[in-house]
Amino acid sequence: MLLARNKSLRKVSRIVGIHPIRQRNLRQWRLQMNFLKLLRKKATTRGQQFHNGNAPVYNLEELLFRSTELGGETGEVLEAIKKLARMMRGMKGGAKDAAEAKKAIEEEIADVLISLDRVAEFFDIDIEEATKKKFNKTSKQKGLTIRFKLDKKTKNK
């Protein structure tokens, strides 16, 4: 089963032109995390523009809107992947080509990240720190040694 799955991943990566698993160095990872903080600031400011210059009201309606938006964007990622799968199978309704499929998946994943941050912002959650803590928790539960170094302020929470 694992061998079949690895062959499928290699086939997808050959068609789309990616490698399913890429190692990133620590510097690149830190730059990405700084990007998340910048994304939060820009999305918050843009959110005020969506609300005609006013800060959004943090109530149940706003939470439901942000959550529904995240669900919708996640569905769009799956739809783009489905079109890639149709193309690979030679079915109607698939992507025109691998480049089109990859571009659609890339755009929808970006929308998911933006929408996810909007939900996290509602609860004042730092995605970077929450992700590190959850990654470490899972590693500990599974007896794995790969862990993130946590900020001092995060350790105390």
- Could you give the angle at the alpha carbon of 37 between the alpha carbons of 45 and 146, nearest 5°? 155
The gap from C-alpha 110 to its chain's centroid, in whole angstroms, comes to: 7
DSSP 25: -
**pLDDT for position 74:** 98
Residues 96, 138: contact at Cβ < 8 Å?
no
Question: How confident is the model at residue 101, as a pLDDT?
Answer: 95
Q: What is the pLDDT along the chain (157 residues), one digit of tens a residue?
A: 445 555 665 666 666 555 544 545 556 655 666 888 899 989 988 988 888 888 788 899 999 999 999 999 999 999 999 999 999 999 999 999 999 999 999 999 999 999 999 999 999 999 989 999 999 999 999 999 999 988 776 665 5
CA dihedral 146, 149, 150, 156 (to 10 degrees): 90
What is the rounded CA–CA span in Å between residue 18 and residue 4? 18
Sign, CA dihedral 77-79-83-88, equals positive
Residue type, 8: S
- How far from chain centre, in Å, is Cα 92? 28
pLDDT value, residue 28: 61
**Best CA proximity match to 71, nearest among 108, 41, 39:** 108
Residue 73's contacts (CB-CB under 8 Å, 6 or more residues apart) are 108, 111, 112, 114, 115
What confidence tens digit (pLDDT) does each residue in 127-152 have? 989 999 999 999 999 999 999 988 77
CB 95 within 8 A of CB 42: no
